[in-house]
Structure formats: structure tokens, C-alpha cells
Amino acid sequence: MAAENDTESSQFILLGFSKDPELQPLIYVMFLTMCLTTVLGNLLIIMATSSDPHLHTPMYFFLANLSLNDICYVFTTVPKMLVNIQTQRKEISFEGCMSQIFFFVLFASLDDFLLTVMAYDRFVAICHPLHYMVIMNPQLCGLLLLGCWVLSVLNSSLEILVVMRLSFCTEVEIPHFFCELNTVVKLACSDTFLNNVVMYSATLLLDGGPLLGIIYSYYKIASSIRGISSAQGKYKAFFTCASHLSVVALFYFTGIGVYLSSAASERSNASTIASVLYTVITPMLNPFIYSLRNKDIKRALTLFFV
């Protein structure tokens, strides 16, 4: 097909998981269930942390924002796929595709930054317990949250600006269930050097930087825990970090899995399946990880429904 300079005339086709019509109802039910579970689980976390005065602390403030972000994260990709299956259409407009990329990058970045801020919160709580409420005051928490949003919006805006300068063919088939940034860039008809520079630089700075911050925070936390004399004290300190560590591991391991699978094969379904872990499974599991052994969350939910 001939390349078009007018990208707004381009039409994108989301190929999804399978062309087999018999599998479409199963895929629809599966993703609808996961989407509803994600929304319900994260809404329960938000309601629990907002309704119980005992949970009005920096730790649960950032947890509530993480849950809200996970709901937005899922709604960026899954509803469009469900509509396409329901209507038996696979098209998405250029504007719709660009919007999906913008919000996907925005909420993925925000997830990354929030997890980093939560690691800093745990670092202060364990390494400087006597000064915790002084350091993690409402003003600083608000500034940290604002900083997360500003960096995420700037990153997402830069990524979408360099994508919108590309030229695409009049009909582009995307081997994915949503407009994933790297996949869309690979399908462009024009030079993508600048896009690759921006993507890899953003990955290095905005993914690698927060990861190093999390690793450093937990290095200091581990050093402090080793200095605690009682076994009960060590267990309590470790327990406060266990949920966050689990979510961090899930977030980064699934992200790395998506990157490796897409690098291994551009057209393989492996990348699409790996993306499900990153975009749907992780946000769905986060509420369960944080509430499964958290007595404060359980108590707040019990009081909320009583």
C-alpha cells in the first residue's frame, strides 16, 4: 500500500488475539470478568482507605491513588477491545489510536512513579520512624503526587508528539488488542529514528531511574531491619514492605516479559499475551496483594459494609 502523508486518513486494524469466531465469546467473557474484578477490587481499596480515619496516612494515601490509577489503566485498553468483539469490528481511528497511546503511557508511567514514592514512604517509615509523620507531612505527600503526575504527563505528551509526526499507510494492521506504542511505531511508513531515541531514553530515565530508587530504598530498609534486635520487630518491619515488594516485582517482571517477547518476535502472539499480564492481570491482582494479609484494610472494609 502506498504511504499517506496525511496520517489522519489512516485507519488502524486491531487484530486482537484470534481470528477464530468461536473463541471471541470466550475472550469477551474472560476480559469482561477481569475488567470488572479490577474495578471492584480497586474501588474497595479506595473506599476502605477513604472511609476509615485510621487509614488516613501517607502509605494508604498513595495506595488509594495507585488503585485509582489502575482503574484508569485498564479502562484505557480493555473497553475498546470488548466493543470491537461485541460489534465484530476491529477498526480504530487515528485519533482513537493516538488517544489510547497517550493515556496508556500516562497511566503506565504514573504506576511506575507511584510505586517509587511508596518505596520512599516505606524507607522513611522504617529507617526514620520517629520523624515519619514530620517528614511525610501532607504538603510533601501532595507535592510527591503532583510530581508523579507532571512527569507522567510530560513523558506521555513527548511520546505522542513524536508518534503523530509519523506517516502511516491508509490501513495499518496492528498485531495487538490495543495501540501499543512500540508496535505502532514499527508499523510507520516514515523514519522512526527519533521515536526510537525518545522511547529508549524515556525507558532508561523514567523506568530505570525509579527502579534504582526502589532498589536503593530497599537496600537501606534491609540494612535497618538487620539492625533490629528482636525477631518480632524484624518480622513487623518486613511485613509492612511485603505487599509493596510483591506489586513492584509483578509490575517490573511483567514489563520485562513484554519487552523480551516483543523483541524476540514482532508478529508473534507471545507479545500480545505477555501484554495481558502487564495491562490487565497486574492491576487486577494489586488489590488482592495489598488486602490479603492487611488487617487494617480488612477492618476498614468490614466497618464500611456493616
Residue 93 phi/psi, 5-degree rounding, is -70, 165
Tell me if 147 is assigned to some domain: yes
pLDDT digits (tens, 9 = 90+) for 89-120: 889 999 999 999 999 999 999 999 999 999 99
pLDDT digits (tens, 9 = 90+) for 179-193: 989 889 988 988 899
Tell me if 40 is assigned to some domain: yes
Instruction: Please state the domain count of the chain.
Output: 1
Instruction: Name the pairing type of β-strands 171-174 and 91-93.
Output: unpaired
Tell me if 262 is assigned to some domain: yes
3-state class percentages of the chain: helix first, strand second, coil last, to nearest 5: 80, 5, 15
* Confidence at residue 293, expressed as pLDDT on a 0 to 100 scale: 67
Pairwise CA distance, residues 248 & 193, whole Å: 31
Torsion of CA 84, 88, 93, 98, to 10 degrees: 30
Q: Is the pTM of this model over 0.85?
A: yes
- pLDDT tier, 265 (very low <50, low <70, confident <90, very high otherwise): low
Domain that holds residue 175: 7-305
Pairwise CA distance, residues 180 & 113, whole Å: 20
Tell me if 1 is assigned to some domain: no
Q: What percent of the chain has pLDDT above 90?
A: 51
Pairwise CA distance, residues 174 & 176, whole Å: 5
pLDDT digits (tens, 9 = 90+) for 122-158: 999 999 999 999 999 999 999 999 999 999 999 999 9
Whether the CB-CB separation of 92 and 15 falls below 8 Å is answered with no
| CATH code assigned at 288 | 1.20.1070.10
Mean pLDDT computed over 263-280? 69
Tell me if 2 is assigned to some domain: no
pLDDT digits (tens, 9 = 90+) for 190-234: 889 999 999 989 988 888 899 999 999 999 999 988 887 777 777
Mean pLDDT computed over 72-79? 95
